[in-house]
Amino acid sequence: MEQKNTIFINNCPVCGSDKFELFLKTKDYFLTNEEFTLVRCLSCSFVFTNPRPPDEELSKYYKSSDYLSHTARKRNAKDIVYQALRAVNIRKKYKLVNRFAKGKTILDIGSGTGELLAYFKKQGWNVKGIEPDRMARNFAREKHYLEIYENDKLSTFPDKSFDIITLWHVLEHIPDLNKTIENIREKLTEDGYCIIAVPNIESTDFKHYQDKWAALDVPRHLYHFSPDTIRLLLDKHGFKIVETQPMKFDAYYVSLLSEKYLNKKFSPLNALRKGYGLNKKAKKKNNYSSMIFVAKQK
């Protein structure tokens, strides 16, 4: 795929500064092999992909049967690991959400093929989802009988509709970051919680893999958060973070991909061992591959 058009972001999405420095050059190792640049804001240290494809062209970077959040297949070792970890993570996510929820109405933004919402529905929750990918959206509707909508639905939900709004590895994909966070604040009940999971650009495994770190995933990932920068973003929109948790399993899947990007003749078993070792190192400073942030309105 040839990269044709790009747009340059003139102001930091978090603090508005127009002063950036080069952070890293990397490639779309997943699909196109195009090169992309990451910059870091000199004011708040937020890292983001810049320049990037125009919003209307981003969808083509997801058009692959290997994009696993949009498929339920189990074809090879990578698929099997992903699906197994997803099943475990669904139960862990449910347990976390249940701890904070004052009611049982949930919106999952970026709901994929709907397995998470289907699990919540079985537990008696009132569930709704937003998913931009048509095939994943239709799969969730047809297999799990879920109410799954396109992106523009978020702004049309009545205010204070949801006790919980979740974004599991979604916020880094959303072009209009600030509008989305503002919409989330409006749609939550006064005592509702927003739960966000994102890759951690300060993680042990990023430091190990650098430009081959699979969680960079350019250009699908437009933003590359650290605990400090996501805190700044949420604070700007009237949220405070009340709890932070690691997603320890992510290191295993990210290592599978990253090792493949380093060496196409990689061993899946060795990649899983690498994930275990990186998690062990991450425990010292709580800088895991991905982090969960639970936030509520101030």
* Closest to 153 (Cα-Cα) out of 93, 195, 109, 192: 109
Rg (CA), the chain: 18
In the three-class reduction of DSSP (H, G, I as helix; E, B as strand; rest coil), residue 204 is classed as: helix
What type of residue sits at position 109? Answer: I
User: Tokens in use for 167?
Assistant: 């974004």
The pLDDT assigned to 4 comes to: 60
The pLDDT assigned to 268 comes to: 80
pTM for this entry: 0.92
- Residues with Cβ within 8 Å of residue 255, at least 6 apart in sequence: 205, 271, 272, 274, 275, 278
The pLDDT assigned to 71 comes to: 47
CATH of domain 65-297: 3.40.50.150
- Say if CB 113 and CB 139 are below 8 A apart: yes
- Residues with Cβ within 8 Å of residue 203, at least 6 apart in sequence: 215, 282, 287, 288, 289, 290
The segments of the chain whose pLDDT lies below 50 read 1-2, 68-71, 73
The pLDDT assigned to 196 comes to: 98
The pLDDT assigned to 86 comes to: 74
> What residues pair up with 20 in beta bridges, in sequence order?
41
